[in-house]
Structure 1
Amino acid sequence: MILFHHHHHHLLLFLLCSLPLLTLAIPTTWTLLNLARTCTPDASSCLYLFNLDQNPNNNSPYSLDDYTTCYFPVYPFSSLPANQTDFNSVSCLHTDRFSINGGYNSELKFWTLVITDVEKGEHAFFGYTDDELSNGEREGVVPKNGKVLTTKKKRTEEEGEWSGGGKEKEEYLVRSRRGKRKVRSREENEDDGGNGKTWQILGLSRVQNSSDDTTKVGFKIKDSDGLTAHCSLTLSGSNNDISWFGKVCKGFKISWGYKPDTDGGVMTVCYPQNGTAAWFGWDGISYQTEFGDSLRRGVHEIGCA
């Protein structure tokens, strides 16, 4: 077995050396910018937000395809607070193009984020200390670069060892194989959470009343079986940027986070009875009262409560 490995490496080197020089381009890197994590005071949920530049050396203004804003909530699975909770194969709210894994090492107080571009079959690793992430809530974490590795490999475990990432990387590769999801086209921008169920928010409206400093929010939740629940919530605060958590309506728990970079709102709908949840996003929400219908979003089993 050791012999085979030994030869295997020589063969690889030989193959690499016999390629024309042109194809040995500088290894690609992605840059992760503006990573911020905002958690509720009791750490019952955290909202992660970042920008990913997949072509940091290209200054052309036409490379928007390579620039993504991604945000997603994380809920604790166990007794650990959300800011110490690992997450697997999470999607960004607006697109299924990426799958994100986060692993927390409590001894080192260190986070590893692995971002996979499912369409391209590539992934990169980024590491952050706890301090960086909590400061990042205020000032946006320093940009980090991650070397891009190919995900689509027949011998996944071997690639994990070979690229020198050790245990973390191997575990991730094994998990990413298990969690292969079918990817839908970006135009559709809808996923089925792997269980075929979707929810949709219909007719979201918001009335802000500064005289008593409240906000009234109304909407319907419609599931793919055609059932609807009407929700009408009264919240304290009348600013555009209020966030709120765990408001109960017809057996659902509804949370809302404000996203300053796009003047956006992220709604999380959780159904504690079976621990499923879905996320919905709206941009440009200031001074609006009618937000209309959301896209249909996949319902994911995340154990929210």
Structure 2
Amino acid sequence: MQISQLLLAAGLFASSILAAPITSSDWTILDMKRVCNGENTSCTWTFGIDSGLDITDCTFIVEASDASHANGGPSTCGAYTVNSGWSGEFDPTNGFTTLSVANEETGQIIWPAYTDEQLADGNIVKPEQSYPPTAFP
């Protein structure tokens, strides 16, 4: 009786390990760019998501009265769901935006972040930024 319980417990434990997504590479955000209109009521983000397996192009639009400082999403880019949140926590002149880029199919997510200075004037952010994906809890 005890051996069968032990084997059952070991089997359940092993299956939970195998179910956890494992990735062999970081995800890289390619050619990140944010362009806002003159009134700052609409900002269009364009970038690529390189998972190491393929590249997904993404266009993400935030519309608000102060769009460059507004939260945005959700928006779908292929298998990914993208959201954004702006923070001026340390000082509004040192603001930054953190994105969540989630792949529901693989159960993984990254949180790329960019300062307002990096995104200024619609410039492409260089160098590219890479992030290790994390499994959903």
The alignment's TM-score, normalised by the length of structure 2, stands at 0.73
Query: What pairs with 1:25-44 in structure 2 (closer than 5 Å)?
Result: 28-44=25-41
Tell me which residue corresponds to 2:6.
none
Question: For residues 23 and 31 of structure 2, what CA distance do their matches in structure 1 show?
Answer: 25
Contact 2:23 2:133 in 1 (8 A): no
Q: For residue 26 of structure 1, report the CA deviation from its aligned partner.
A: 7.6
Residue 111 of structure 1 and its aligned partner are, at CA, apart by 1.2
**Distance in structure 1 (CA, Å) of the matches to 2:108 and 2:25:** 10
Is 1:106 matched with 2:88? yes
| SS of match in other structure, 1:112 | strand
CA deviations on 1:172-199 (whole Å, 9 max, x unpaired) are: xxxxxxxxxxxxxxxxxxxxxxxxxxxx
Q: Which residue of the partner structure matches residue 141 of structure 1?
A: 125
CA displacement 1:246-277 (0-9 Å, x = unmatched): xxxxxxxxxxxxxxxxxxxxxxxxxxxxxxxx
Shift >4 Å, 4+ stretches: none
Q: 1:28 deviation in Å?
A: 3.4
The CA deviation at 1:87 is 1.5
TM-score by length of 1: 0.35
Gaps (5+ residues) in structure 1? Answer: 1-14, 20-24, 56-62, 154-305
* Matching residue's letter, 1:98: Y
Listed one character per residue, the Cα deviations across residues 39-81 of structure 1 (whole Å, up to 9, x for unaligned) are: 11001111110011100xxxxxxx5xx10111021111xx4x1
Alignment of 1:10-159 (within 5 A): 28-55=25-52, 63=53, 66-76=54-64, 79=65, 81-92=66-77, 95=78, 97-108=79-90, 109-135=95-121, 137-138=122-123, 140-142=124-126, 143-151=128-136, 153=137
**Matched residue pairs, number?**
113
What pairs with 1:239-250 in structure 2 (closer than 5 Å)? Answer: none
Cα distance in 2 for residues equivalent to 1:45 and 1:144 = 24
Question: Are the aligned partners of 1:102 and 1:112 in contact in 2 as well (CA < 8 Å)?
Answer: yes
Q: Show the 5 A alignment for 1:193-204.
A: none
Cα distance between partner residues in 2 of 1:110 and 1:52: 20
CA distance in 2, matches of 1:120, 1:74: 26
Give the gaps of 5 or more residues in structure 2.
1-12
In structure 2, relative to structure 1, the CA distance for the partners of 1:26 and 1:39 (3 Å cut) is closer
> What's the CA shift string for 1:132-153, capped at 9, x where partnerless?
0115x13x102111110112x3
Post-superposition Cα deviations, 1:193-214, rounded to whole Å, max 9, x if no partner, equal xxxxxxxxxxxxxxxxxxxxxx
- Give the 3 Å change call, closer, same or farther, for CA 26–72 of structure 1 in structure 2: closer
Contact 1:32 1:50 in 2 (8 A): yes
Measure, in 1, the Cα distance between the counterparts of 2:45 and 2:57: 11
The structure having more radius of gyration, on CA atoms, is 1
Identical pairs, percent: 27
The answer to whether the Cα contact below 8 Å between 1:31 and 1:146 also exists between their aligned partners in 2 is yes
Cα separation, 2, equivalents of 1:103 and 1:73 = 13
